[in-house]
Amino acid sequence: MSSWIFPAAAVLAQLLCRFPAAVVVFPGRLSRRSISRITTRPDPDSFPNMMKLSLVVMAMMADAAKVRTGLLKAKDPCPEGLTNRFPDGLPKKIVLVDDENGGKAMNPMDSVFDLDALRAALKEDPEWKIGMPWLLKATFSSDSQVDRTFSFASGDTGGFLMITVPAGVQDKDIQVTDNIEISGADAEFQYKKPSLWTSGKIVMENICLAPRSCDTFECPSPAMKPKGKGHFGFSAARCCDMRMCSEIEGVCLPNSMYTKAANFSEKKGHDNSTCCSPKYCPNDLCKDDTKWVSKGDVVLGSTKEECCERLECATYTCSNPALMTKSPNYNEDGTPRYGSTDDECCAGKYCKGFDCQPSEDFGLKPGAANILGNSKEACSDVKKCDTFECPNNTKWKPNPAAVVGSTKEQCCTKIMCSSYTCSNEALQKKPGQATMQGSSDEECCEKKFCSAWTCSDPSKWVHLSNQHGATNLDRRGFSDEECCDKKFCLAETCDPATQWKAKEGLDKIQGSTKEQCCEKIYCDAFVCDTDVNNTGVGTQWYKRVDTNIYKWQGSTNEECCMPIFCSQYTTSHPTRWTRKKDPSAKGSTDVECYDPLLCSDYCCDKQAGLEHRPNAEHHQGSTDEECCVKS
């Protein structure tokens, strides 16, 4: 059984005790929506009492429904997850013109809420500002026979956050949004119209008064982004920031068509057109390429695929149709055949396919790939080294003295690593270079060992061990990054702390000296102790003076000031003071450099009829005149 029925059931049990002659039957389940019917088998004499019982039960069910409605409405009344700013000091339910219970009539411009409580809350609310968008929402039930209007008062427009409650409406949620037109100190929520209101009460509850939140505002342009949670307003100016190019993922792609604008890190933008500089195809990209031709337009790109068009053999005509046949337009794998030369697009009897015999003495003529023919006379020459190509040109080079030959041993000489110079100082010759063939870093060189490297700046780098700890193999490298560890600044470097302070982001600064890690603290802003007038001179210290070539550094008296010692000072009242025993005492006044001589410690000459003056312990002196009086 639903919880809303419990109060009715309890009272019904009491009534049955009072009317024992009545038997109440509930056919079917008792639900929160209705009790389908109540059937009784009464004693004829108790019929009037049963009528009363029926009326009581119906009233109890109505009250239970109201309780349930109230529980449902007790939740936070504000929409969109807004925080309710309706003042805690005001009632959560307002009953206006309750004429049946002695409620007061209302004139237009009468306040609905307690004026002092409303203003006290709104003038302290940081978001209640003229021009800010706010929301007012409440649940209204009206017994009025006419529509009635309420709003916050404003001198210019006649009101803002204006709500009109339709006549006879019940449990109606009404919500309005508007811009604030008056300060919190002058705010007043009023009954506005139509006229004097004397009857037909209106109940206002579940009240929400809140500033509009940027959380639900949609920025109007892709160039903008939401500022994030916790911002109030309902406009692009308050709720949105311009996007920065550096925040956009995937911008300026592909790299072959775009490059980041010069001021990319500070530039506002949201796409390639606003954040990037276009790359236009180079004019000579496809030049001298038999398989590509320039598109001839102003095109974005930096690759042949973007800037050029393929030359297909399908559009090519062989130069000598009598000795050539056109190759198929498509390769065996189904891809188009590309090219613009006989060699690429035509098949013919070229000398490149002729077998010169004997091969030891004869070879193809130079340029055989472009010579049409199929005979020894047309295609063959006596083999000479000038037509022989030495294999692996990093290990062999042509022998200019050789004329006839067809092998690398006949026509070429070895290239030895001993004559090669490694391309950069980080490399060294491999062991056994005298017997190794080659003329490249890969063939002849290897990376040097870290044992030969000296870290560039000992204040920023510390040398790694020459061997790897895990393998005991020599560590290879020839740079700070490979052979050294970075030194990062420590707070301890900035010592003494009275003269140095750590730079911002100290733990990310590479270095180990004061100059690299710290900033100097200068004395120019320091005020010496006892310099009460900020003149540079006190009673115990005076300020050191900077020169054109030297500035004093520090933040203490000892670093920034010169001492004034008591030994340089002499009192004008030697009978009233005795010099302090500390030879290092600083000062230039009696109280700093001397202890007082009190008359209570002085012996008056009693034989001369003298005695201590009254309150001798409060008087300074060491003579009869200062300390004694006639007895």
Q: What is the CA radius of gyration of the chain?
A: 52
Residues 6 or more apart whose CB falls under 8 angstroms from that of 572 comprise none
Per-residue confidence band for 25, with pLDDT thresholds at 50, 70 and 90: very low
Cβ–Cβ < 8 Å for 162, 189: no
Q: Which long-range contacts (CB under 8 A, 24 or more apart) does 215-220 make?
A: 215/80, 215/81, 216/80
Percentage of the chain surpassing pLDDT 90? 40
Cβ–Cβ < 8 Å for 86, 167: no
Query: pLDDT by residue (tens digit) across 190-249?
Result: 999 999 999 999 999 999 999 988 877 888 888 788 877 768 777 887 788 888 888 888
Per-residue confidence band for 45, with pLDDT thresholds at 50, 70 and 90: low
Alpha carbons 308 and 301: distance in angstroms, whole number = 10
Cβ–Cβ < 8 Å for 592, 565: no
405 torsion bin: left (phi>0), alpha (psi -120 to 50), beta (else): left
Cβ–Cβ < 8 Å for 298, 278: no
pLDDT at 213: 80
Most confident segment among 202-211, 327-336, 404-413: 202-211
Largest interatomic CA distance in the chain: 160
Q: What is the CATH number of domain 81-211?
A: 2.60.120
Q: Which two tokens stand for residue 501?
A: 């302070």
Residues 6 or more apart whose CB falls under 8 angstroms from that of 182 comprise 130, 152, 153, 154, 155, 160
**Per-domain boundaries in the chain:** 3-71, 81-211, 244-278, 280-310, 313-342, 417-447, 491-521, 599-630
Cβ–Cβ < 8 Å for 500, 514: yes
pLDDT at 395: 85
**To the nearest 10°, the Cα dihedral for 450, 452, 456, 457?**
80
Q: Which long-range contacts (CB under 8 A, 24 or more apart) does 367-374 make?
A: 369/343, 370/342, 370/343, 372/320, 372/323, 372/324, 372/348, 373/349, 374/349
For the whole model, what pTM was predicted? 0.38
Strand pairing category for 427-429 and 396-398: unpaired
Cβ–Cβ < 8 Å for 328, 359: no
- The percent of the chain in helix, strand and coil, each rounded to the nearest 5, is 25, 25, 50
**To the nearest 10°, the Cα dihedral for 14, 17, 23, 28?**
30
Alpha carbons 146 and 151: distance in angstroms, whole number = 17
Cβ–Cβ < 8 Å for 188, 118: yes
Helix, strand or coil, per DSSP, at residue 14: helix
Query: pLDDT by residue (tens digit) across 82-141?
Result: 889 999 989 999 999 988 877 889 999 999 999 999 999 999 999 898 888 999 999 999
Q: Which two tokens stand for residue 551?
A: 């500035």
